[in-house]
Structure 1
């Protein structure tokens, strides 16, 4: 399966952390979305066998993920009925598969939290960067925790996508700030192609 991919790093210093600066976070989210919309993308080929394996570890049980993803992508019959569950499964599966494809991240080193969010957990997943050297190198560190929020925004409406980025920043900063790392994985639809954007938040 081929997708488009881009990534951006956002230093913690650009994100407001004072209550009086709360409204500025929405403005930062707009800047981030504008940036990723204008970034050059690469074509990333993800092994469909990997997609099947990683779909088993998602928070929703959906059969035939690949077939349903194409129905969802092209707007075929029945996609609206499936859209909620499919978007969740697709975004989680592609996030994990992209981490594996680009950074050799092992599934056993991804700690998923989404299924237990009712317990008050903020992030969707967590990776100990000491165990994943290639990903740590990308973030120019040797250690630390990477808190992950996974979002799908198939609607192209600007405010809709910005709202998802904004809420993800607010959630991640509660657990990441000041010393650890954050990743907002954003799945969007670019015409008839899926686009995966990684928004890394760094302590520096």
Structure 2
């Protein structure tokens, strides 16, 4: 009985000191120009693929000095231009219910965001796209997707009508469920304590037998 009470208290403390991940916003201004983003934002539950920080060029609609673009853009002359085969990819470890990004300077190449229910492959659950005119100078478009569960989004230009590119900034997301994520220190202490209780209980049972 005593051990059950202690275990219950351990579980309660675990839930009390755990942190809850519900939503987030990433403005990309804390990175390094030209460096691959990859797992830089993993603490926020988001990892990127084929994504590097780019200069915002101080375009209207950007939040600061940096935006993101494709690391490998298929050899296009404009580093801000990339097609579907070389999409910028964001993966959400806990899943998301809604995601939005700001697409700056979208011209006649257009821009699209696809949402999938799996980290790889999966089913297309939503998409949003915009088609601008000319080089899209001064344009700022917010593209949004939503679904019960989104694990991955892919972002890319719809066409290659011109050499014009696009700047991606201000990723916002809401988690699909209120998931409890334990702090590493809390998890290690809790696990060690629980293991100790189980070992103690087993020794007690052997001594009684």
Instruction: With the length of structure 1 as denominator, give the TM-score of the two structures.
Output: 0.27
Higher helix share: 1
Bigger radius of gyration, 1 or 2?
2
Higher strand share: 2
